[in-house]
Amino acid sequence: MNISQKVATKATVITSTTTDEPTKTGHRYLLADICAGSLLLMVELGLLAIIIHLGLIDPHQSLRLLSDWLNYEPMASSFYSNNPLAHYAPFCWRVLTPWLVYGLTTLGLSLHGGFLLVTTIGLCGTIIVVYALLRLCGATTWQALAIAMLIQTQYVPGLLGLWNFVVTDPLSYLLLGLAFLLYWRNRPRWLMVVLALAALNRETALFAVAAFAGEQVIHRDWKRLKSYLPAYVVPGLIILTLHVAIFHVGSYNLISQVGATWSTRTGLAGRGSTQVQFGNVNAYALNIYHLTINAFGLLLPLLLLQFIHPPYVIRRPEVWIFLLVTIVQIIFAADNERLMFIAFPVVALAAWHELRWLAQCLKLPAAVIGFFLVCVQGLFLMGQFYKAVADFSFNKTVSLQEPRWLNELWLGMLMLIIVATVGAILWIVGFGIRRLYLYAQA
């Protein structure tokens, strides 16, 4: 073999090695992402199992929340329902979820079963989209998993969204999360499809339109704005068409609605879920509770840190615009936590940046800090579950005639949270002892 053949052979080996290595690495990351998504799916289904175990979603029990289901149930029962509540604004214009449920009922599923299926898919998809968003922005597998679980153990996706399942919110969360994912991946055509579906489901699709178009206008990116214009116009036309085509009973005036909502805030006794947990408390204190702890949980301090140091995410126009319009919507509605949760895409991004900053300051892995926060918030969520039913005994499992798989699933979730919490505490104790030992040695 001459010298030229040896060089060619060596070049071939190097080329094959360099081309095979990214493939192996990509496969490894893909497997890790699949495992992380499966874990998030299992956790959400486990939370659903606990809610079923506690009887919170039973439509025949008094624990069922008095909510928008009064309007959505007759909408899903028939396309041409004579029930006045099916034609009451603004609920009558949110047609996608009721239409999906109606289609499921024609396939033999019950009305409540259809709503529960759509809600579960929406919430599971929302959490997985959070993970995908963070991975897209550069987060490691463990960092993205920690933030996604921190979102998952909030009050809305962890309890309220599954408890109050006859609503359109979960599907809206999923579609808004997909909208951010497609916008950051620069997919205007698919973004148009997702925002069109979001407009059929709820008018909050316009929040994303304001955020994305506002970011392009502020940066004077007219070329990109032109390519995204159909994705912004189509949702607006859909909402306008729904308002014109679907008539509603009663008088609906936006200004009077805002005035009525604002006037009732001073005497707001609290939502049904909070009344069960805390009773009647001060109205202003309750509003603050809804807008802070119940809306964002332990993500709140991480979000507030973004306004102090380093304000990286808040400087992005689409982030602060979306957060601002989410806050402004509170003026139009008396219930807060499930409306504030709409900001989850930008809150998750801000939390990830602050988690990395805290990791640098504390000299700890960011994922370790994130999973510790998940354990703390998970225990708080478990307390909310049992406060909701006013039953702290675990003997209830024996008395209920439940399927064995459901019994094992919710008990497994409980044991997982306990083990994770104990492990986090032992890790912190061990870390502290090691630091003291090194300090004494120095």
CB 99 within 8 A of CB 119: no
Give pLDDT, residue 352.
93
What's the mean pLDDT in 26-36?
A: 80
Give pLDDT, residue 20.
38
Look at 142-156, 233-247, 274-288, 294-308 and tell me which has the smallest mean pLDDT. 274-288
158: Cβ–Cβ under 8 A, 6 or more apart, which residues? 47, 152, 381
Give pLDDT, residue 399.
44
Question: Distance of alpha carbon 317 from its chain centroid, rounded?
Answer: 21
Give pLDDT, residue 259.
54
**pLDDT of residue 233 exceeding 80:** yes
Q: Sorting pLDDT into bands at 50, 70 and 90, what band is 9?
A: very low
Alpha-carbon dihedral sign for residues 277, 281, 285, 291? positive
Give pLDDT, residue 22.
41
Where do we find the tokens 């994130």? 370
**Alpha-carbon gap, residue 276 to 389, rounded angstroms:** 8
Give pLDDT, residue 7.
38
What's the mean pLDDT in 162-182?
A: 93
Give pLDDT, residue 189.
94
Helices (H), 333-403: 337-340, 344-362, 366-389, 396-399
Query: What are the pLDDT digits (tens) for 268-312?
Result: 433 444 544 455 555 556 666 666 667 788 888 888 888 777 777
Total count of residues recorded for the chain: 442
Q: Sorting pLDDT into bands at 50, 70 and 90, what band is 188?
A: very high
Query: What are the pLDDT digits (tens) for 91-139?
Result: 888 999 999 999 999 998 888 889 999 999 999 999 999 999 999 999 9
Q: Sorting pLDDT into bands at 50, 70 and 90, what band is 409?
A: low
Query: What are the pLDDT digits (tens) for 366-398?
Result: 888 998 889 888 888 887 777 777 654 444 443
Give pLDDT, residue 279.
53
**Alpha-carbon gap, residue 27 to 324, rounded angstroms:** 39
Give pLDDT, residue 13.
37
What's the mean pLDDT in 255-265?
A: 53
Q: Which residue has the higher pLDDT, 332 or 234?
A: 234
**Alpha-carbon gap, residue 152 to 158, rounded angstroms:** 6
What's the mean pLDDT in 161-166?
A: 88
- The count of domains in the chain is 1
Domain hosting residue 422, numbered range: 3-441
What's the mean pLDDT in 314-326?
A: 86
Q: Which amino acid type is present at position 397?
A: T
Look at 79-88, 182-191, 200-209 and tell me which has the smallest mean pLDDT. 79-88
CB 134 within 8 A of CB 147: yes
CB 388 within 8 A of CB 63: yes
